[in-house]
Amino acid sequence: MANVVVVGSQWGDEGKGKIVDWLSERADVVVRFQGGHNAGHTLVVDGKVYKLSLLPSGVVREGKLSIIGNGVVFDPHAFVAETDKLRGLGVEVTPDRLKIAENTALILSLHRELDGFREDAAARSGTGIGTTRRGIGPAYEDKVGRRAIRVMDLADMETLPIKVDRLLDHHNPLRRGLGHPEVTREAIMGELTSVAAQVLPYMDRVWKVLDDARRAGDRILFEGAQGTLLDIDHGTYPFVTSSNTVAGQAAAGSGVGPGTLSYVLGITKAYTTRVGEGPFPTEQKNEIGEFLGTRGHEFGVVTGRKRRCGWFDAVLVRQAVAVNGIKGIALTKLDVLDGLDEIKVCTAYRLDGEIIDYLPASQGAQARVEPIYESLEGWKGTTGGARSWNDLPAQAVKYVRHIEELIGAPVALLSTSPEREDTILVTDPFQD
């Protein structure tokens, strides 16, 4: 059976939630493999809206096993709050429906606080990154520094205090240097023991669960968060997230071999948006940007922050196709472009007088690139709610076909509204 990896091909917010939910109906297992609860997914199922931050999209569907992999950083208090919220919406998240990898690193209150301290200081100096202040980066730092508290540690109260002391040996000098009070062992132990009983029933050897599922022929859907341009290595560094967001991370972040990953689907918005600071070559700080943001309801699911908007950037998506090994894209929000007389697409950049077809790696060069556009005729008809190619205006079809040519990947799915049924299937990513 084919297994599918879903990744964002831009700066995130491409509409992964709906696509993952659409695909999860055919999947047996849905896996989150990186990121934290800073990644928001909005699902619309039978008219009911679910906003998820940490949990895999599969949790809202009966009969699906959802997994939080070891590549995620896990805030146990956010987990409890999110499961409680879903329970209020009639979704029971039980240990037989959700597994959390035992070796997943935890986000603690001191991570959130450190994130905020640093961002405040950076903002005062004009060097802010624009993080969500949820402790994601500091938690990954502790994981790489080999001092993280992990889910399995909640089951070993004898050695947990020793690990907490080791963590505080690092954090308290940082806090003193930033002018903030130290944290006590008792405070962190109280924070952990207060949620241990609610988290531990979900703990499992996820690598073994996934290996058993693979051997049984189950279809596995790997769900990424954020987008390729926010990858810690391949994104617009330093204005990125703190983990690898590309498809290759699906293997390392869940405990499966690379050969398990059969099809990489890149979620791609029909225009471009990003949240936070950093370069954005096609950003439109004008009426077009306002139009796209208003029509597209471009506000962050988790933070509520207004997204920056601009024309489709084929350079970035073409690079994402190469880095991820994307076999097909799911094109979303085409309907936002309905009614425009002219639509522009960035096909290359000009950097210091030279034309280039890639995003340079250096921060300075990224800030200097200028987009080179070509103009396409818009369409007056509507694409919203279309469920077949015949329902689309001719110019809209032409726009989609041109994007395929520019990025070097075909459209596998075309999403025409937030409703999951409003999806045109071209190629089934789960086909054997």
The catalytic site residues sit at 13, 41
Residue whose token pair is 């329902």: 391
Neighbours of 54 (CB within 10 A): 27
- In this structure, which amino acid lies at residue 224? G
Contact 225, 219 (CB under 8 A): no
Strands (E), 24-158: 29-32, 41-45, 48-52, 65-68, 73-74, 98-101, 105-106
Helix 185-199 crosses helix 76-88 at what angle (to 10 degrees)?
40
Peptide bond into 281 cis (omega under 30): no
d(CA 339, CA 380): 5
Of residues 190, 110, 202, 177, the one with CA closest to residue 148: 110
d(CA 422, CA 399): 19
- The phi-psi region of residue 217 (left if phi > 0; otherwise alpha if psi is between -120 and 50; otherwise beta) is left
Contact 308, 45 (CB under 8 A): no
**Across the chain, which distance is largest between two alpha carbons, in Å?**
68
According to DSSP H, which parts of 61-205 are helical?
76-88, 109-125, 136-144, 160-177, 185-199
β pairing state of 423-425 and 411-415: antiparallel
Neighbours of 356 (CB within 10 A): 15
Q: Is 241 exposed, middle or buried (0-12, 13-18, 19+ CB in 10 A)?
A: buried
Phi then psi for residue 358, to 5 deg, are: -150, 165
Report CA torsion sign: 150, 152, 154, 156.
Answer: negative
Of residues 131, 133, 371, the one with CA closest to residue 275: 131
Helix 136-144 crosses helix 109-125 at what angle (to 10 degrees)?
110
Contact 99, 133 (CB under 8 A): no
- For 88, the token pair is 């209020």
Polymer length in residues for the chain? 432
